[in-house]
C-alpha cells in the first residue's frame, strides 16, 4: 500500500494539505511520467498541415546585411553576365580593375574625339571651297592661325606684311580699300524692283522665321523629354542595352509604340536572353517551393510531442501536475 493509502484524512481541506506534503516529500524519488496524447489527437493537426494551401507565405527570414555584390561589366554578353556570380571574387576584382582602366582610357581620349568632331563640324561648310582650290583642311587652318597670331602679336611691319599678302592673294581692290580707310561711305547701287519685293516679303519672312524658331523649340523640348524617358527605361530594364538595336528596327517596321512593347518583342527575338529568363524563373520557383516545405516542417515541429489537442485537457508532464489537474477537475 502506498503512502497516500495510509493517510487518514477526515476533511477535504486536510486531503489537499496532505497531498501537497506528500509531493514535497517524494518529488525527488518520483520519475517523470509523460502523459502521451492519443494518436487520434494528432491526426487532425497532420491533416490540417497536409491540406494547407501553397499560398501560405513563408516566414520572413532574419534580416542580415548581405555583402555588396559587384555587377558584371555591361559590355559583356547576356550569357557571360549571367555566369558572373560563379566567378571567384578575386578574379571578379581583377576583371573590374581592368574594365575600370579601359573606361578611364576611353574617358581620357573622349576629349580628343570631341575636339576632332568639333573640328570636322567647323570646316564642313567650307569643304567644297577648299577642295576646289586644292587646299588641305589642316594646312588651311594652320595658315589662318599663323596669320591670326601675326595680326595679334606681331610687330607693325609683320602686321602690314600679312595685309599685303592678303591683298595680293585674294585680289582686294586697293582703291576701294583706300576709300574705306579714309572714311568714305561706299554704297552699292540698289535695284528698285528687288527692293520692293524685299519689302513686300518682309512680313512673310518674319512669320516664317518665327515658325521655324517655334518648331525648333518644340523639337528641342521633345528631344529632351524622349532622352529622359529613354535613360530611365534603360536604367530600369536589364537587357535594354542588349536589344536597343532590335528595338529600333522593330519601331522602324511596325511604327511608333511604347518602349516596353518594343522591348518585349525584342526580348522574344533573342533566344539567349529568353533562356536566361527561363532559368531564373525556374530557380525562383524552386526556391519558393523549398521555403514552403521548410515552413510546413517548422510548423509541424513546433507542436509539442504528446500534446492532447483533441480532448482539450491540459498536458501533465509530471505525476504532480497530473494529481493537481485531477484536484481542480481538469
Q: Which residue matches cell numbers 513563408?
A: 58
Q: Nine-digit cell at 292?
A: 514552403
For 218-234, how does the pLDDT look when each residue is reduced to its tens digit (9 = 90+)?
Answer: 888 888 888 888 899 98
pLDDT of residue 323: 56
pLDDT of residue 2: 45
pLDDT of residue 328: 63
pTM of the model: 0.39
pLDDT of residue 261: 92
pLDDT of residue 28: 47
pLDDT of residue 159: 93
**Dihedral of the alpha carbons of 108, 111, 113, 116, in degrees to the nearest 10:** -150
pLDDT of residue 167: 92
pLDDT of residue 102: 83
pLDDT of residue 310: 47
Sorted by where each begins, the domain ranges of the chain are 87-130, 136-169
Distances (CA, A) of 18 to 6, 10, 22, 25, 321: 11, 11, 6, 10, 15
Burial (CB < 10 A; 0-12, 13-18, 19+), residue 263, is buried
Q: Are 38 and 232 in contact (CB under 8 A)?
A: no
pLDDT of residue 191: 80
Consecutive 10-residue runs of the chain (330 residues): their mean pLDDT?
A: 44 48 49 42 44 49 58 80 84 85 82 87 89 88 92 93 91 87 77 84 89 89 88 90 90 89 92 90 90 82 54 54 59
Sign of CA dihedral 248, 249, 253, 258: negative
Q: Are 97 and 70 in contact (CB under 8 A)?
A: no
pLDDT of residue 327: 58
Amino acid at each position: 500500500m502506498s503512502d497516500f493509502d495510509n493517510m487518514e484524512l477526515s476533511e477535504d481541506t486536510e486531503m489537499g494539505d496532505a497531498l501537497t506534503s506528500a509531493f514535497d516529500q517524494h518529488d525527488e524519488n518520483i520519475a517523470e511520467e509523460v502523459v502521451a496524447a492519443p494518436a487520434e489527437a494528432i491526426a487532425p493537426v497532420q491533416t490540417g498541415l497536409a491540406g494547407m494551401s501553397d499560398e501560405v507565405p513563408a516566414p520572413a527570414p532574419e534580416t542580415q546585411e548581405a555583402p555588396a555584390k559587384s555587377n558584371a561589366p555591361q559590355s559583356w554578353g547576356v550569357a557571360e553576365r549571367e555566369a558572373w556570380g560563379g566567378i571567384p571574387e578575386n578574379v571578379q576584382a581583377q576583371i573590374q580593375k581592368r574594365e575600370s582602366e579601359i573606361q578611364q582610357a576611353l574617358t581620357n581620349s573622349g576629349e580628343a574625339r570631341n575636339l576632332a568632331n568639333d573640328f570636322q563640324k567647323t570646316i564642313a561648310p567650307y569643304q567644297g571651297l577648299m577642295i576646289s582650290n586644292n587646299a588641305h583642311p589642316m594646312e588651311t587652318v594652320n595658315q589662318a592661325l599663323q596669320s591670326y597670331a601675326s595680326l595679334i602679336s606681331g610687330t607693325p611691319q609683320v602686321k602690314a606684311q600679312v595685309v599685303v599678302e592678303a591683298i595680293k592673294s585674294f585680289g582686294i581692290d586697293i582703291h576701294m580699300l583706300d576709300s574705306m580707310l579714309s572714311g568714305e561711305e561706299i554704297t552699292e547701287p540698289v535695284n528698285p524692283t528687288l527692293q520692293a519685293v524685299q519689302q513686300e516679303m518682309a512680313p512673310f519672312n518674319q512669320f516664317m522665321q518665327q515658325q521655324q524658331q517655334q518648331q525648333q523649340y518644340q523639337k528641342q523640348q521633345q528631344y529632351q523629354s524622349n532622352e529622359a524617358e529613354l535613360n530611365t527605361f534603360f536604367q530600369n530594364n536589364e537587357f535594354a542595352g542588349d536589344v536597343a538595336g532590335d528595338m529600333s528596327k522593330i519601331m522602324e517596321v511596325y511604327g511608333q509604340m511604347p518602349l516596353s512593347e518594343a522591348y518585349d518583342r525584342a526580348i522574344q527575338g533573342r533566344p539567349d536572353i529568353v533562356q536566361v529568363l527561363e532559368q531564373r524563373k525556374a530557380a525562383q520557383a524552386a526556391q519558393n517551393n523549398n521555403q514552403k516545405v521548410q515552413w510546413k516542417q517548422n510548423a509541424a515541429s513546433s507542436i509539442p510531442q504528446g500534446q492532447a489537442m483533441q480532448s482539450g485537457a491540459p498536458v501533465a508532464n509530471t505525476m504532480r501536475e497530473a494529481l493537481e489537474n485531477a484536484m481542480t477537475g481538469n
